[in-house]
Chains A and B, each alone.
Chain A
Amino acid sequence: SQQGEEDPQALSIQEGENATMNCSYKTSINNLQWYRQNSGRGLVHLILIRSNEREKHSGRLRVTLDTSKKSSSLLITASRAADTASYFCATDRWGAQKLVFGQGTRLTINP
């Protein structure tokens, strides 16, 4: 069962611009996580935000969570060519011990 739905499916921007990706989900969650996947490789954990948190920062990444709207956003500031990848949100419910992933946003940074 799909939980997270990312929007947009694909995003293409110029290097140096900011990139914003959104994630919506359907049921109550314990936490929400964002992952990056470079082409043909495994996923890399970027950031985790708990259900009682509203915003978190990690370097050039900023994540927000709005549990009333069941949505999250990932902002990458001052994008670089190396940020080109697919980005996935994932959620779990308390006690479930497992993440459910969305279908991802394909981000392309043009030099």
Chain B
Amino acid sequence: DVKVTQSSRYLVKRTGEKVFLECVQDMDHENMFWYRQDPGLGLRLIYFSYDVKMKEKGDIPEGYSVSREKKERFSLILESASTNQTSMYLCASSLRTGSPQRIYGYTFGSGTRLTVV
């Protein structure tokens, strides 16, 4: 069964810590995404990557960085965690959209619920 795996289901970190959230997919997908989900705000895109070593800012990249050294792995980094980064983090992947006939849905991981104290 194809899947996206997020390394931690729950995570508690202290303010100021550097935090790494890992995401691995086994579907050979080109595109990978990091979203955060907050009550009343829905899903907001932080960063995405459409190829190895490529990255694009989403709607809320401030305070985050990403790394994609291998096709299957996309890491989200909180350089200095703050309490306002307490959230559910969702990783997703998809095949690259090609012609109008080649449009694909996302496969999501189970999410990492991060609490910054």
Contact = CB atoms under 8 A, between A and B. Distances in A.
Contacts of B4: 42
A109 B19 CA distance: 38
Nearest to A100: B45
A48 interface: yes
B76 interface: no
Given A50-B100, A97-B50, A97-B97, A42 B108 contact: yes
Interface string B84-95: 000010101000
Given A30-B100, A97-B97, A41 B45 contact: no
Contacts of B106: 33, 35, 43, 45, 90, 99
A88 interface: yes
A104 B96 contact: no
Given A98-B58, A100-B45, A101-B43, A42 B90 contact: yes
Contacts of B110: 41-42
A31 interface: yes
Nearest to A102: B42
A48 B108 contact: no
Contacts of B97: 30, 92, 95, 97
Given A101-B43, A103-B42, A48 B105 contact: yes
Nearest to B39: A103
A2 interface: yes
A1 interface: yes
A48 B31 contact: no
A103 B44 CA distance: 10
A50 B113 CA distance: 33
B70 to A, nearest CB: 19
Contact of A97 (B41, B59, B96, B105): B96
Given A42-B108, A43-B108, 12 more contacts: A1-B59, A33-B106, A40-B88, A42-B90, A42-B92, A43-B92, A45-B105, A48-B105, A52-B100, A100-B45, A101-B35, A103-B40
